[in-house]
Amino acid sequence: MVEEARRLLAGGGAGDKSLRSSANVGRALAVRGPNRELHSWFVPLTVGDRLAAFFQFLPDATLLRFSSFQRRPNDCSSCPPVADWLDAERIKSRAESHVGSGETMGEPFLSYDRTPDRLVWAVPFGHEGAARLVYVVGDTVYSPPTGDTFG
């Protein structure tokens, strides 16, 4: 997936000139469904300490999307810090505020909230056999929504 991302970036199939010259292609992270089944692969493009963009590929390497946080070429002011998306300790520290009494926190995994557009880190919490997930995205932390809604 990383090679495919590099190929698309270098060939002009994704991203712009400034990304081609400045971005690092990070290692691919598995995006898993709520039951931890593999859904797709997330390949980050970082510029310095910022997450500038990312690729999302299906397991057969079909390109699902190329998404950029940049509002303008060469402008990373609107891009989130890399650690918000790629540092498991940062994700866990954000989720701590949602730990219930007696609950233990498991290892976060990259997932999505209902649709693969809404990438989140899913943090599993457990207590006496009961398990639940908490979603972390940037500085937003919330429980998976219930009911049929658009949000």
Partner 1 sequence: MKALSDQTQRIAGLELNGLRATQVLGDEFENVAIPRQGTPIYDINGEVLFYRLPLKRGRTPVGYADIGVHEVLGEPLVATSIGIAWDEKALLEAGTAAARKYNKSLKYDEVRFVAFSFPKIALQFLVEKTEVLMLELYDWEEVPRQQSKDRKPLEPSNFERWSLIEEMPDNLRRARAKSFRARLAIWDTLNRRNFKLDVVSKDALLVRDFVIKLVDTRELHYSTRNSDHFTCYELRGQQTNVWCVGASTEMLLNFYRYTYDQVRLAQELGLGTLAHPLALPCANVGLVVTVIENLTSNSLDATMFTNPGFNIFRDEILANRPLISFVPGHSRTVAGYTQSLFSLVNQVPYKGLLVYDPWPPNAGVITRWENFATQIYQFAYSAVIRQV
Kindly state the smallest distance separating residue 102's Cβ from partner 1, in Å: 26
Computed from CA positions of residues 136, 49, 87, 115, in that sequence, does the dihedral angle turn out positive or negative?
Answer: positive
Beta carbons within 10 angstroms of residue 49's beta carbon: 11
Residue 81 dihedral angles phi and psi, to the nearest 5°: -60, 140
* 99 secondary structure, DSSP code: P
Q: How far apart are CA 37 and CA 44, in angstroms?
A: 20
Kindly state the smallest distance separating residue 139's Cβ from partner 1, in Å: 8
Q: How far apart are CA 151 and CA 147, in angstroms?
A: 11
Nearer to partner 1 (CB atom), residue 12 or residue 126 = 12
Beta carbons within 10 angstroms of residue 94's beta carbon: 20
Nearer to partner 1 (CB atom), residue 133 or residue 137 = 137
Residues that bind partner 1 (CB under 8 A): 11, 13-14, 53, 58, 62-71, 78, 80, 113-115, 117-119, 135, 137-140, 142, 145, 147-151
Kindly state the smallest distance separating residue 131's Cβ from partner 1, in Å: 21
Nearer to partner 1 (CB atom), residue 102 or residue 151 = 151
Kindly state the smallest distance separating residue 128's Cβ from partner 1, in Å: 28
Nearer to partner 1 (CB atom), residue 28 or residue 136 = 136
Kindly state the smallest distance separating residue 129's Cβ from partner 1, in Å: 28
Collapse the DSSP code of 82 into the 3-class scheme (helix H, G, I; strand E, B; otherwise coil) and give the result: helix
Nearer to partner 1 (CB atom), residue 128 or residue 139 = 139
Computed from CA positions of residues 15, 67, 108, 137, in that sequence, does the dihedral angle turn out positive or negative?
Answer: positive
